[in-house]
Amino acid sequence: MSDVPLIALRRVTKTYGQGTTALQALQGVDLRIEAGDFVAIMGPSGSGKSTAMNMLGCLDTPTSGEYLFHGVHVETLSRDQRARLRRRFLGFVFQGFNLLARTSAQENVELPLLYRGETAKARHAAAAKALAQVGLTGWEHHTPAELSGGQQQRVAIARAIVTEPAVLLADEPTGNLDTLRSREIMDLLWALNVDHGITVLMVTHEADMAAYAKRIVRFVDGIVASDTPNLQPAGLKASAAQAAEVTETV
């Protein structure tokens, strides 16, 4: 374990509103995330897990406390500096896919690179690579309407990883999918974590999806109620089962 974690929240609070209407969403959160970790964040509605995720994604700032990313105090950065950090180091996956409806899978994946000002050649190559990583080679020119829900979420994940982020933040990534497609997406997130070294932070209310993570952090009433290592993550079991199938066919 490094002395300097990838991410650290120290005594972080977040208050919305003032006076008698003030809502304390976070009440002194301490959290440490190492590079290469896979963390599931769980908790009931109003527990603070979504506020914490917004904080980690540089979409919100703490009322008090410290947020360090690679040792840099994020809470002291300007809005533009936080935006640059997001573009350089973070990828986002949401429950609702958020794909452009009349735009091909390839063009959807290229979008973050377009904002960066990359050349068309560089965008095409990076998007093709990202789509291949999520198993969608051959589907580059299909629009979202021509893809299943699971395929749409794969496009969304490809868009999130096309910039080669250090951290993938996934907010209920399987919330709109059936059980089979949910497991496919979780197997993909596991592979991105284990094979490509991407740190995964995932908010979920589904225990069977959280079972893929290496750690399960539970929020209650704006604090971290528990932070438990998962010694037998489901992704590890799935990988072992796949390896056994390959061995049997050889």
pTM for the whole thing? 0.90
Note the pLDDT of residue 20: 85
- Orientation of helix 149-161 relative to helix 120-133, angle to 10°: 130
pLDDT (tens digit per residue) in 114-141? 988 899 999 999 999 999 999 999 999 9
Q: What is the mean pLDDT of the chain?
A: 92
Farthest CA pair distance, the chain: 69
Q: Which of 100-109, 166-175, 229-238 has the lowest mean pLDDT?
A: 229-238
State the average pLDDT over residues 91-107. Answer: 92
How many whole angstroms separate alpha carbon 3 and alpha carbon 5? 6
Looking at the DSSP bridge assignments, the partners of residue 92 are 169
pLDDT tens readout for residues 193-219: 999 999 999 999 999 999 999 999 999
What average pLDDT does this structure show over 221-231? 96
Q: How many residues does the chain have?
A: 250
More confident residue, 2 or 160: 160
**77, 79, 80, 81 alpha-carbon torsion, rounded to 10°:** 20
State the pLDDT at residue 93. 94
pLDDT for 188 equals 95
Could you tell me how many helices (H) and strands (E) the chain has, helices first? 8, 10
Domains contained in the chain, CATH given: 7-90+166-249 (3.40.50.300)
At 248 the pLDDT is: 54
Q: pLDDT for 1-25, tens place per residue?
A: 557 899 999 999 999 998 888 999 9
Q: How far is the C-alpha of 79 from the C-alpha of 153, rounded, in Å?
A: 29
- Please give the pLDDT value at position 1: 56
pLDDT of residue 2: 58
Confidence of residue 250 (pLDDT cuts 50, 70, 90): very low
Which pLDDT belongs to residue 247? 45
